[in-house]
A and B are shown apart, each in its own frame.
Chain A
């Protein structure tokens, strides 16, 4: 009991002390999160009428973010597959960080879905046996199941690895390897299920294309790892955590291939709709050209496409892949491009034109944006906290003290700029 308490105290110290940049970062996130929470309380009181969603476009910004973030969460798999299947040393050390990203992303997904529900207090209706989960007929019930399994898996794997490392033990391969191998299909499952829940609707021809699930997976494998590369570059600069160049370049190369598949599949969609020129061309036309004078999404999707193609070439050509500036630029472009293409660029055209061919152009209201920013802040906050504890554990700076009970925070506490010996020494510094 005491060692858990001192672990907890150690983590609190880690997250509450830091450099000025750290305080600004956390402070900003907390402020935005506070605004987001206030906005959500207002939405709970007034109802979803405060959003721009109507019967014609019944899913909007929240579900767009949710769809994108499920992809980011699935992307942790990209790091695990080469790490554990090919026993690649550089990636193995940092695969855990990918899982921490997955945990934060899944938390954000759950928050976005909750924000979108009309009756969030009735979430217990989704719990099997307690409520009434329509499994296996409803794809949303599948989503509830696989997202929670994936969250649980990642918490277990990352938690176990960090726990064992904290206690200066080697994690038990026999326990870990099956879980890791399970997490690969779990990651693919969460995104496939999310794709299927759009795919199965005959009423929405824009989504009712077999190509949707492969597109989801391809774009997921671009966005998550791109974010991870940015995180790794930050970690490399600010901590003593060693991340090899070849690991980062390998991830970038894999992203290039995933983006190629993503663009290919998108191109296939475009060909099929434009060449056949049936009634079902309308949503894609709305997205790419505008329909009957409505063209709110057109500049966004073209920006996203330009970003995606540019980033693809950046990652494809080894020189630009290895150049730190273009690498960062490429990562940001891919993240933004996939965010647009798979977020609003996927969800909204499914509703425009609607099933009776009415066009209602949806743009999110201020409340939706504030709540969404609040959720992103909370997610980034969770991720920051996880990294703040996880990295010192992984690089040996935070581990159980020699007595086996207390906790020890080592010499270089990153982002602090000063040295902290033990937890109890902290008082002397004050």
Chain B
């Protein structure tokens, strides 16, 4: 072995001192907030989970979001976080003997909930089924586009988030960005979702949709009354889905969801399942009701029925 003088000139160019200086400089740059984004970028990045925000933090967050969206879309947009009403569990009824497949619910939902037009996101999917094959989804036609509906021999079934009582999607979220609320609505915190799309793999109804790109919303059609967990404009890379129009239904008095209101044939019913005088209870107790994929034990609150 040769002698053991310490190596004076290292074969590698940078010295230790230079490396340390570079590292500190890099960290320093990172610590400075960018000039235009200002502190809100940091607030957004470090924002806690919705359920962990204190009242003040929540108010600040809602105000910040409101002003950000207003700047982005050039309109006065408000974001609220109305909590669930006590003693309410929402249920939805879909009268299969009435639905004609006109898809007006689909587009009313798009308008009401600020869904992206490009890439296109629809929270409701209406499928065309054969009367003789029943509700076997293997024969469902998603892209029917005849001149007039309903077509002879077919019936129509809209499918959207079933707001399950035993949701498979909330089980699998690794960061608890989605959870069922007390009033039964399964919600997503768009600022907590990491976009892993495990919930989309888990949903048996295809109810969840991903923002593959930053959504394009025409500002003139925007609904400016938004809810944090519902119809506020979503960033790219997060999952979204039907929220039973949480911005409407949680008000006092509560409005009906947009899809329910627009249906021209009255196929959609909505109400409080816990209200003994309400239409939902009457419907469940008196009509032939079924749910989709019952064997999966998801316990959905979206009840399909035949009124006649």
In the complex, number of A-B residue pairs with CB atoms less than 8 Å apart: 179
Q: Is the CB of A119 within 8 A of B193?
A: yes
Within B92-135, which residues are at the interface with A (CB < 8 Å)? 119, 125, 127
Contact with A along B203-234 (1 / 0, CB 8 A): 11110111111100000000000000000000
Contacting residue for A204 out of B16, B201, B210, CB 8 A: B201
Nearest Cβ in chain A — how far from B291, in angstroms? Answer: 14
For this complex, into which size category does the number of interface residues on chain A fall?
35 or more
Contact with B along A369-410 (1 / 0, CB 8 A): 000000000000000000000000000000001110110100
Binds B, one of A136-144, A173-181, A230-238, A307-315: A136-144
B10 within 8 A of A: yes
B59 within 8 A of A: no
Q: Is the CB of B9 within 8 A of A427?
A: yes
Contacts of A46 in B (CB 8 A): 213
Nearest Cβ in chain B — how far from A345, in angstroms? Answer: 17
Residue of B nearest to A9 (CB): B10
Q: Is the CB of A426 within 8 A of B159?
A: no
Residue of B nearest to A426 (CB): B11
Nearest Cβ in chain B — how far from A395, in angstroms? Answer: 17
Within B32-69, which residues are at the interface with A (CB < 8 Å)? 45, 49, 52
Contacting residue for B210 out of A55, A141, A279, CB 8 A: A55
Interface of B, secondary structure class, is loop
Q: Is the CB of A201 within 8 A of B201?
A: yes
Q: Is the CB of B6 within 8 A of A131?
A: no
B288 within 8 A of A: no
Contacts of A47 in B (CB 8 A): 211-214, 236-237
B238 within 8 A of A: yes
Contacts of B284 in A (CB 8 A): none
Q: Is the CB of B175 within 8 A of A49?
A: no
What is the bound-complex CA distance between A46 and B236, given in angstroms? 9
Residue of A nearest to B207 (CB): A355
Within A281-328, which residues are at the interface with B (CB < 8 Å)? 282
Binds B, one of A76-84, A156-164, A215-223, A416-424: A416-424
What is the bound-complex CA distance between A13 and B208, given in angstroms? 52
Binds B, one of A25-33, A101-109, A122-130, A252-260: A122-130
What is the bound-complex CA distance between A101 and B156, given in angstroms? 54
Residue of A nearest to B194 (CB): A122
A240 within 8 A of B: no
Q: Is the CB of B138 within 8 A of A6?
A: no
Q: Is the CB of B194 within 8 A of A406?
A: no
Contacts of B174 in A (CB 8 A): 126, 133-134, 138, 140-141, 144
What is the bound-complex CA distance between A47 and B202, given in angstroms? 22
Q: Is the CB of A118 within 8 A of B4?
A: no
Q: Is the CB of A48 within 8 A of B205?
A: no
Contacting residue for B194 out of A53, A123, A203, CB 8 A: A123
Binds A, one of B71-79, B165-173, B271-279: B165-173
Residue of B nearest to A5 (CB): B16
What is the bound-complex CA distance between A140 and B201, given in angstroms? 12
A415 within 8 A of B: no
Q: Is the CB of B1 within 8 A of A118?
A: no
A117 within 8 A of B: yes
Question: Can you list 21 A-B pairs, Cβ within 8 angstroms, ordered by A?
Answer: A5-B16, A48-B212, A53-B212, A58-B201, A118-B210, A122-B194, A126-B194, A134-B175, A138-B171, A138-B172, A138-B173, A140-B173, A141-B175, A201-B168, A203-B168, A279-B138, A355-B203, A356-B159, A357-B139, A358-B140, A401-B4
B residues whose Cβ falls under 8 Å from a Cβ of A: 1-2, 4-7, 9-12, 16, 45, 49, 52, 119, 125, 127, 137-140, 142, 159, 168, 171-177, 192-198, 200-206, 208-214, 235-239, 296-297
